[in-house]
Amino acid sequence: MGGPKVVALAGGVGGAKLAHGLAAHLGERLSVVVNTGDDCERHGLLVMPDHDTVLYNLAGIEQAGLGWGIEGDTYAAMDQLAAYGEEAWFRLGDRDLALHVARSARLRADDGGRLTEVCLGLQRALGLAPRILPMSDAPVPTQVRTAEGWLDFQEYFVHQRQTPDVLELRFAGVADASPTPEVAAAFGEASAIVLCPSNPLVSIGPILAVPGMRSLLAAAIARGARVAAVSPIIGGRALKGPADRMLAALGHESSALGVARLYADLVDVFVLDNVDADAAPAVEALGMRTLVTDTVMTDDASRARLASEVLAALR
Ligand code: GDP
Ligand code: CA
């Protein structure tokens, strides 16, 4: 398939939905750079929640409505792990577990290759045309400070169900991370870049925090690539997850305008929902064009429709 190449930046649930919509139009011309800040070890295995959510969505096997896991999965292994006294709050389905087993085995093998190479091999096995690229091969675990002190991201997100107030964030080890050759090549070829409607602070934030990532974007922009961002905040609220509370707690505004302010230095076109149409003039005053449309993705058709509107706005 010829034509312009696109890089999308994504976290999990919101990012995966738009990535899937973009894939419907772009196929192999799409590269998705995913957040790896949520990655964690469970039962001795590497789990990559955002990579895997995008993988399952692009493969069309995602668990409907939940934002993680495989549709129709069973939990026999998890129940048996619990019987041995293993921690079971991070639910991994049987078919989901197979991915973590395969990935961890390949990473441990002498000839297994880098994280990105292992992920690409697994994606090919599921027949994916687009490429899902970890933001870095080095671990950059996100940590969250609450009243209890610093917590690992999944302790806050899954175990404590995002209930504590977030006082501070850090991306451990980020200074030693760098974009992979695959990520650099994708930006080098891209004529458009899309910041998906993912959490700006803990999904897009870690990707942009990798040293060298912003320079890759800047070089692409200098070559003429255009950048769009889709607001994950609609009517002041996140559709799912803690993005709204987290923005407010960390001194930002929980609104489409608040997200636009975070991206103003990068973005040409900011996409906001019809319910936020009133905010468009204020977003434009930050120096961006706006696209006001229905940004709620409820099915394959609405994912593809939003993706095509975003791509058209970048032409
Ligand atoms: P996580 O890694 O699973 O938390 O997922 P992301 O960071 O990729 O996405 C979380 C954000 O997705 C939340 O702020 C939601 O408001 C947003 N989101 C989820 N579904 C949609 C949708 O259909 N449209 C838009 N605009 N945002 C969405
Ligand atoms: Ca995530």
User: Is residue 132 over pLDDT 80?
Assistant: yes
User: Is residue 11 over pLDDT 80?
Assistant: yes
Q: What is the maximal distance between C-alpha atoms in the chain? A: 59
- Which carries the bigger pLDDT value, residue 68 or residue 303? 303
Q: In the predicted model, what is the mean pLDDT of residues 24-32?
A: 98
* Ligand number nearest to the C-alpha of 198: 1
User: Quick check: 54 and 66 in contact, CB under 8 A?
Assistant: no
The CA-to-CA distance between both ends of the chain, in Å, stands at 18
> pLDDT for 30-41, tens place per residue?
999 999 999 999
pLDDT recorded at residue 275: 98
The rounded distance, in Å, linking the Cα atoms of 30 and 10 is 12
C-alpha 239 to ligand 1 mean position (Å): 6
Helix residue spans in 85-136 (DSSP H)? 94-108, 115-125
At 77, which helix (H) or strand (E)?
A: helix 76-83
Task: Look up tokens 């002498």; give the residue.
Answer: 110
CA angle 31, 206, 154 (to 5 degrees): 105
C-alpha 198 to ligand 1 mean position (Å): 5
Q: In the predicted model, what is the mean pLDDT of residues 193-208?
A: 98
User: Quick check: 94 and 77 in contact, CB under 8 A?
Assistant: yes
pLDDT recorded at residue 241: 94
Q: Taking CB atoms and a 6 Å cutoff, what residues make up the pocket around ligand 1? A: 10-15, 17, 50, 67, 197-199, 203, 230-232, 234, 238-241, 243, 295-297
C-alpha 245 to ligand 1 mean position (Å): 14
pLDDT band at 65, cuts 50/70/90? confident
* Tokens representing residue 301 in the block: 């058709």
CATH topology of domain 6-145+171-313: Rossmann fold (3.40.50)
* Tokens representing residue 169 in the block: 């964030």
Q: How many CB atoms lie within 10 A of CB 250?
A: 13
User: Quick check: 282 and 257 in contact, CB under 8 A?
Assistant: yes
The rounded distance, in Å, linking the Cα atoms of 244 and 13 is 15
pLDDT band at 125, cuts 50/70/90? very high
Angstrom distances, CA of residue 120 to CA of 106, 125, 130, 133: 12, 9, 10, 8
pLDDT recorded at residue 112: 86
C-alpha 224 to ligand 2 mean position (Å): 30
Closest residue by CA, ligand 1 atom 18? 14
Angstrom distances, CA of residue 229 to CA of 25, 225, 298: 18, 14, 19
The rounded distance, in Å, linking the Cα atoms of 22 and 304 is 6
pLDDT recorded at residue 1: 53
> pLDDT for 224-262, tens place per residue?
999 999 999 999 999 999 999 999 999 999 999 999 999
The rounded distance, in Å, linking the Cα atoms of 117 and 260 is 34
- Listed by start position, the domains of the chain span 6-145+171-313
pLDDT recorded at residue 267: 97
